[in-house]
């Protein structure tokens, strides 16, 4: 491969949030009012989502992870203030915590078409994710990167799990969002694709079969972005705090940088059985970082933090190259001490009811 990689790759993030009634914790369909209350340039970087009780905030393209964290922190505070003015709370949770009162899509022709095409699946409770974009030059390298990341993303999924509660109950999963989204035919792990031509043939077949409406419905956990020269990693739940998002973004950039340089150097890509990759994601969604994770490369289960430690050793040169090692070390120390988002939610529910926990999460969203 003749692609030349820059010394440092760009990074950005998209964060989806629920808008909830501050008193009851139920969904509040006020997204249009929230968006209308934002000032520029944040208004241009925020948009409606599939449900009227959701909003999405998009960062600028960043070179420094600390810059990304500050931008997300400021954006979260501004959107939270606009939500409060609209009578809602901005809550960073990955799944709908209470039964959803407004399951219809937002007033948008595209969203209505999706709801009609996918039927009851499109009426599942709302879920919110965090999508990390890393700049990658060229579609050929982007496809190669997605294939090489297949065995690495379950541990990111486990670390970013933040949706144990849905519709008033603990689901038993650390990331119920991940489990729920597996019902969609165009979500889940990236297939083992060897080339851009292979990728395009696969997408065309899925569209022809009706499993995808069009190419924009390629929603695998990793994908070449249709809008930007990036690889987009979609496996994370929305994180409780902006600092958590920055940690995940730094790790993802380190992963992308590492496997991209492997590809450019001509090192062989691992060939992992689809069934083990899918099982690794299921296990990550179920247990998060509190149990064991399946290592798709060996087919064995190991303590989650050991799997993460091996991954960290692999990407340390990339973290150093991007000046992210200190941020990642501090972030992982904090995560190990305080727990993932899922662990924190469960800990809070030991001493308070669900509406109070949601108030607590809303209050800390801008940290």
Going by C-beta distance under 8 Å and a sequence separation of 6 or more, which residues neighbour residue 103? 51, 123, 125
Collapsing DSSP to helix, strand or coil, 8 comes out as: coil
pLDDT of residue 298: 79
Which residues are 295's β-sheet partners?
A: 300
pTM: 0.96
* Phi, psi (deg, nearest 5) at residue 149: -85, -10
Confidence band (pLDDT; 50, 70, 90) for 1? low
Q: Are 49 and 122 in contact (CB under 8 A)?
A: no
Which residues are 219's β-sheet partners?
A: 187
Domain parsing of the chain, residue ranges? 11-338
Burial profile 268-279: b = 16 or more Cβ within 10 angstroms, e = fewer: ebeebeeebbbb
Q: What is the pLDDT of residues 28-71, one digit of tens each?
A: 999 999 999 999 999 999 999 999 999 999 999 999 999 999 99
Whose CA is closest to 222, among 189, 247, 245?
A: 189
Q: What is the pLDDT of residues 138-174, one digit of tens each?
A: 999 999 999 999 999 999 999 999 999 999 999 999 9
Handedness of CA 300, 305, 310, 314 (dihedral sign): positive
CATH topology (fold) of 11-338: Creatine Kinase; Chain A, domain 2 (3.30.590)
- Please work out, in degrees rounded to the nearest 5, the angle formed at the alpha carbon of residue 77 by the alpha carbons of 73 and 83: 140
Which residues are 303's β-sheet partners?
A: 292
pLDDT of residue 299: 79
99 or 341, greater pLDDT: 341
Q: How far apart are CA 166 and CA 269, in angstroms?
A: 38
Q: Output the average pLDDT for the chain.
A: 94
Confidence band (pLDDT; 50, 70, 90) for 294? confident
Q: What is the pLDDT of residues 265-289, one digit of tens each?
A: 999 998 888 999 999 999 999 999 9
Q: Are 161 and 307 in contact (CB under 8 A)?
A: no
pLDDT of residue 101: 74
* Residue labelled with tokens 């409770």: 125
- Give the Å distances, CA to CA, from 351 to 106, 342, 356, 357: 35, 15, 10, 9
Confidence band (pLDDT; 50, 70, 90) for 190? very high
Collapsing DSSP to helix, strand or coil, 101 comes out as: coil
Alpha-carbon torsion angle 68, 70, 71, 76, nearest 10:
120
Q: Are 242 and 15 in contact (CB under 8 A)?
A: no
């Amino acid at each position: 491969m003749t692609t030349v990689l820059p010394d440092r790759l760009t990074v950005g993030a998209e964060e989806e949030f629920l808008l909830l009634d501050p008193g009851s914790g139920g969904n509040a369909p006020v997204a249009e009012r929230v968006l209308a209350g934002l000032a520029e340039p944040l208004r241009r970087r925020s948009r409606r989502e599939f449900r009227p009780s959701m909003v999405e905030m998009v960062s600028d393209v960043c070179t420094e992870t600390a810059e990304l964290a500050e931008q997300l922190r400021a954006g979260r505070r501004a959107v939270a203030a606009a939500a409060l003015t609209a009578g809602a709370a901005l809550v960073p949770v990955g799944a709908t915590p209470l039964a959803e009162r407004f399951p219809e899509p937002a007033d948008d022709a595209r969203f209505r078409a999706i709801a009609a095409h996918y039927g009851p699946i499109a009426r599942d409770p709302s879920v919110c994710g965090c999508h990390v974009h890393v700049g990658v030059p060229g579609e050929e390298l982007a496809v190669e990167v997605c294939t090489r990341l297949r065995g690495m993303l379950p541990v990111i999924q486990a670390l970013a799990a933040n949706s144990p509660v849905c519709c008033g109950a603990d689901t038993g999963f650390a990331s119920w969002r991940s489990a729920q989204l597996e019902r969609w035919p165009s979500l889940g792990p990236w297939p083992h694709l060897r080339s851009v031509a292979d990728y395009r043939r696969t997408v065309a077949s899925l569209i022809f079969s009706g499993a995808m409406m069009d190419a924009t419905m390629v929603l695998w956990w990793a994908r070449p972005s249709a809008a930007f020269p990036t690889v987009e990693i979609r496996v994370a739940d929305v994180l409780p705090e902006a600092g958590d998002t920055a940690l995940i973004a730094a790790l993802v950039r380190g992963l992308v940088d590492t496997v991209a340089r492997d590809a450019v150097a001509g090192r062989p890509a691992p060939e992992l059985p689809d069934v083990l990759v899918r099982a690794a994601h299921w296990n990550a969604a179920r247990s998060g970082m509190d149990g064991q994770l399946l290592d798709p490369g060996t087919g064995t289960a190991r303590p989650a933090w050991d799997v993460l430690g091996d991954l960290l050793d692999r990407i340390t040169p990339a973290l150093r190259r991007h000046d992210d090692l200190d941020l990642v070390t501090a972030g992982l120390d904090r995560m190990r001490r305080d727990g993932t988002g899922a662990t924190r939610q469960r800990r809070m529910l030991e001493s308070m009811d669900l509406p109070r926990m949601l108030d607590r999460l809303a209050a800390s969203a801008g940290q």
